Amino acid sequence: MAFELSPLPYDKSALAPFLSAKALEFHHDKHHAAYVKKLNELIQGTKYEAMSLEDIIRATADDKVKPTREVFNNASQVWNHDFFWRCMKPEGCGKPSGALADRLSHDFGGYDQFREEFKHAAETQFGSGWAWLVVDGGRLKVTQTGNALDPVDNGKPALLTIDVWEHAYYLDFQNRRPDFIATFLDHLVDWDFVAGNFEAVQEKVR
């Protein structure tokens, strides 16, 4: 069955003035849509057609040879973008609270230390990629991945991500990736979504 482009969870103008409607239009309707379209073309008539997105990612992650690599790259980018949109909300931010805040304090020393580490990972990811807050061996960790890579294939549940491909920020911030990252962290993160992801991981290990 063909995959469909998930709609944005908010209106395209809802993240303004921090991210413009034009930037979301290009990022979601062109870039994200292109990954969905390409994935559907690649999996047509193959065993991947019957699989979930996560299963495709896990089944193709270790194969570095075309055309399987292309299936992985596009499936992974579809998953990453679906997840990324949900990490933001209009009137987002504030700071995490409750069990998630306690855990950030335990594993990073506090929210400010987490923020620095996440910001650093996003700024220093060389070229295109993503920065993540994941659960790794029971601890919260910040990681970065290049191109389409994500934590799905290595069993590290993702709690939060930021897209640092140039297409994510060039229209609004041009070359100023650090300004985009700071804007994301200070005005856009949906900490309720992140806390929900954390809670879901806790449920699984109980």
Residue 31 beta carbon to Fe ion: minimum distance, rounded to whole angstroms: 5
Residue nearer to Fe ion on the CB measure, 35 or 108: 35
- Work out the burial of residue 27: count CB atoms within 10 Å of its CB; fewer than 13 is exposed, 13-18 middle, 19 or more buried: buried
Q: Is 150 in the site for Fe ion (CB under 5 A)?
A: no
Out of 72, 132, 165, 191, which residue is the one contacting Fe ion (CB under 5 A)? 165
Beta bridge partners of 146: 129
The CA-atom distances, in angstroms, between 149 and each of 57, 65, 76 are 9, 15, 7
Residue number, 134 or 168, with CB nearest to Fe ion: 168
Site map for Fe ion, 32-61, x if CB under 5 A? ------------------------------
| 158-163 β-sheet, strand order | 139-146, 129-136, 158-163
- The tokens 């929900």 sit on which residue? 196
- Is 178 in a helix, a strand, or coil? helix
Residues 6+ apart with CB under 8 A from 67: 42
- Contact region with Fe ion (CB under 5 A), list: 88-96, 101-109, 157-165, 194-202: 157-165
Closest approach of Cβ 4 to Fe ion, in Å?
18
Q: Does position 163 bind Fe ion by CB under 5 A? A: yes
CB 173, min distance to Fe ion, A: 14
Report, in Å, the least distance between residue 128 CB and Fe ion.
Answer: 9
Segment near Fe ion (CB under 5 A), from 14-22, 109-117, 156-164, 171-179?
A: 156-164
Q: Is residue 107 close enough to count as binding Fe ion by CB under 5 A?
A: no
Nearest to 117 by CA among 133, 103, 102, 137: 133
Give the binding site for Fe ion (CB under 5 A): 163, 165, 168
